[in-house]
Structure 1
Amino acid sequence: MSTAGTIAAIDLGKTRCRLLISGDSHQVTRTGDGTPGLAAPGGVESAAAAILALLEPGPMPRALGVGAAGAWTAPTAALALAETLAAATGANVAVASDVVTAHIGALGGAPGVLLLAGTGAVALGVDADGVRLVDGWGPDIGDFGSGSWLGREAVRAVQRAAVGLGPATTLQQAVAAHISPAPDALSWTLTQQPLARALGTVAPLVLDCAEHGDSVALEIATEAVRLLTASALAASASAREVALHGGLTEHLWFGARLEDSLSNGGRRVAPTVGDALTGAQLMMTRRDLPHERFVHRAE
């Protein structure tokens, strides 16, 4: 049964699933495992199972807002997830991409750009002309300037230096210590699954070496700033506000360079209002947001 006055918000990623239940006088948070994404085989079923596992036991909410990885490229699956959850819980359900709910939360539902720079990278812009998603294409063909991109460029630089194709760099010592006891960076990459996530753990080494003046690391970090800025600018021609989110933006040296680059591009870094969970709550309770055509509802 649904419980009057209770709204549940879900942030379902590929690594973890977060739940926030808000009532008139209480708040509950829970965390579980993520799923491969709605576009993956069995994506709807695995997503529903992960969400229901966090909702139970206990009375079901009257409303459920979900930000789910893969919903942008799989709208049919997103609607199916909304209908599945509505049937299972008796709640009104809204499902959108986790990037959409993150944007709503970060900017409070207002126009602007959200630039996510973590293991992957994506920019979502909302302005008078509509909604535009840039990158988020995965490590094989995109995620430009992301943590996995930084890590891959660092490993390439280390391998090139090892055989005399590139200049010596302090990244050689930093990466060797990080991947120990693997004998070399190439051997290490061949054993890592998923590789993108493993490469993302190398990104802080690149930023630290760059901050301390290593020319190779500085060149890599500078290119990452350029690529991330380009994605943010491409996401909106008119919105001037850019909210930043993700682990890379929390590195003080790198974050400052990224802010300077965005400022030079005519953008202003805006303070974030909330996160994907607060965005999922707002999406559930409002239908007048500019993101509405990317929201799939079942009642």
Structure 2
Amino acid sequence: MPTTRPGRPYVVAVDAGGTRTRVACVDLEGRRLSGAAGPAGAWHHDDDAVAHLQETVLEALRSGDLAREDARALVAGVAGVSRRGGDHGDRSLEWARSAYALPELACPQVVVNDAVTAHRGALAGEPGVVVVAGTGSMVLAITTDGDEVENGQLAHYAGGARHLAFEAVQQVLVGAAGPDDADLVAALLAAWGAADAAGLRTAALEVDRAGRHAVTRRYGALAPLVTAAASTSPLADRAVRALAERTARGVLLLAPLVGRDPVRVSTTGGVASDPAFRERLREALVVPGATPTLLLPPAGDAVLGAALMALEVAGEARPGAVDRLREDQP
């Protein structure tokens, strides 16, 4: 069993999404001490999500030889749980804080929706709107007064990786693919092990019978094929553009609430960070009469956001820790 190094205080930052869980342990100077990655930590995408998160955190501690008693705070951004002041997640914050708690750690443990940590990382704590789109999707605004408002509160949902793939696969199934889409169609058929559209339809029905989580994983894995083909395949371009336009609507619904002109917007997550998606989102955000926006590259990811929040919860961050953490992010 590895030896630990008592007396080395640190905080734990967790990003638990529908595809994977990432953990970083950061000392009070803002230096990353260790990290670990594991399977999905979002309960609505994996039946073993809670165990995955807990095991990944403990692996990060083991890999850094960190004593459990030296943890000062843990902040976990978890997909599919409600935000503070909102009830649009599939499970409540109270449930998540109990279910995901690690009894091995005596420090304060904070669970928030992963869009909150993503927002904090992408805009470095500044007001604005952040698009989170990977396995799942949320558009979250944080106003100049610190209020949090999500697109779901205005009856809007854009979609994530699987929705992008739904669009592409359905276009193939209805016969909407043209000659210029041949390479994309071939890639989609190969991914499903199908010889033609009829075989693709049969494979899709088989995945549906396997259950909701199987559908999410299978379709979600196809999203990179679609975005990679967006510049050469009209079908892929339509699919990516449709998702970008739905997402832009969510941003523009929230932008007037932020209280800053232009409103800063950024993106995070596998789909939202893809250059093909970002370029089409930039175009879709230009709407006559809408609140002006400025699409920025993310300052950092959701792990950075969770680490910044954890240092605040700990209340022991050394001078320069936040700047050092931003500089040292991978």
TM-score category of the 2 structures, normalised to the smaller one: 0.7 to 0.9
Q: CA deviation at 1:188?
A: 2.6
Partner of residue 293, structure 1: none
CA distance in 2, matches of 1:46, 1:249: 24
Aligned partner of 1:220 among 239, 248, 254: 239
Partner of residue 149, structure 1: 163
How many pairs are equivalent? 276
Q: CA deviation at 1:115?
A: 0.5
Aligned partner of 2:19 among 15, 19, 24: 15
Q: CA deviation at 1:143?
A: 5.6
Query: What SS does structure 1 have at the residue aligned with 2:256?
Result: coil
Query: What SS does structure 1 have at the residue aligned with 2:271?
Result: helix
Q: Does 1:32 align with 2:32?
A: no
CA distance in 2, matches of 1:267, 1:92: 37
Alpha-carbon distance change, 93 to 267 in structure 1, aligned in 2, over 3 angstroms: same
CA distance in 2, matches of 1:279, 1:258: 23
CA deviations over 1:207-242 (Å, ceiling 9, x no partner): 45442262x444333322210101122234233111
Q: CA deviation at 1:178?
A: 3.2
Q: Does 1:115 align with 2:131?
A: yes
CA deviations over 1:23-65 (Å, ceiling 9, x no partner): 2466211222333428988865664455335434640222222
Partner of residue 77, structure 1: 95
Would you say the 8 A contact 1:124–1:133 is kept in 2? yes
- Please, which runs of 5 or more residues in structure 1 have no aligned partner? 288-299
Query: What SS does structure 2 have at the residue aligned with 1:227?
Result: helix
Q: CA deviation at 1:273?
A: 1.8
Map 1:255-270 → 2, pairs under 5 A: 255-264=278-287, 265=290, 266-270=292-296
Higher alpha-carbon deviation: 145-154 or 223-232: 145-154
Would you say the 8 A contact 1:3–1:62 is kept in 2? no
Query: What SS does structure 2 have at the residue aligned with 1:273?
Result: coil
CA distance in 2, matches of 1:190, 1:11: 32
Partner of residue 106, structure 2: 90
TM-score (norm 2): 0.71
Higher alpha-carbon deviation: 5-14 or 197-206: 197-206
Map 1:239-278 → 2, pairs under 5 A: 239=258, 240-264=263-287, 265=290, 266-278=292-304
Partner of residue 185, structure 1: 200
Q: CA deviation at 1:189?
A: 1.7
Q: CA deviation at 1:173?
A: 4.7
Q: CA deviation at 1:160?
A: 1.2
CA distance in 2, matches of 1:247, 1:147: 8
Q: CA deviation at 1:99?
A: 1.6
CA distance in 1, matches of 2:274, 2:52: 34
Aligned partner of 1:199 among 219, 228, 235: 219
Aligned partner of 1:229 among 231, 244, 248: 248
Alpha-carbon distance change, 39 to 236 in structure 1, aligned in 2, over 3 angstroms: farther
Partner of residue 320, structure 2: none
TM-score (norm 1): 0.77
Would you say the 8 A contact 2:135–2:161 is kept in 1? yes
Query: What SS does structure 2 have at the residue aligned with 1:247?
Result: coil
CA distance in 1, matches of 2:271, 2:18: 19
Q: Does 1:66 align with 2:76?
A: yes
CA distance in 1, matches of 2:49, 2:134: 23
Alpha-carbon distance change, 71 to 252 in structure 1, aligned in 2, over 3 angstroms: closer
Would you say the 8 A contact 1:108–1:279 is kept in 2? yes
Query: What SS does structure 2 have at the residue aligned with 1:177?
Result: helix
Q: CA deviation at 1:267?
A: 0.9
Q: CA deviation at 1:119?
A: 3.5
Aligned partner of 1:131 among 113, 136, 148: 148
Amino acid at match of 1:226: E
Partner of residue 158, structure 1: 172
Aligned partner of 1:55 among 58, 61, 73: 61
Amino acid at match of 2:277: F
Partner of residue 290, structure 1: none
CA distance in 2, matches of 1:156, 1:59: 51
Q: Percent identity?
A: 26
Amino acid at match of 1:12: A
Would you say the 8 A contact 2:129–2:251 is kept in 1? yes
Amino acid at match of 1:59: A
Aligned alpha-carbon RMSD (Å): 3.3
CA distance in 2, matches of 1:46, 1:253: 31
Higher alpha-carbon deviation: 248-257 or 4-13: 248-257
CA distance in 1, matches of 2:18, 2:226: 25
Higher alpha-carbon deviation: 149-158 or 20-29: 20-29
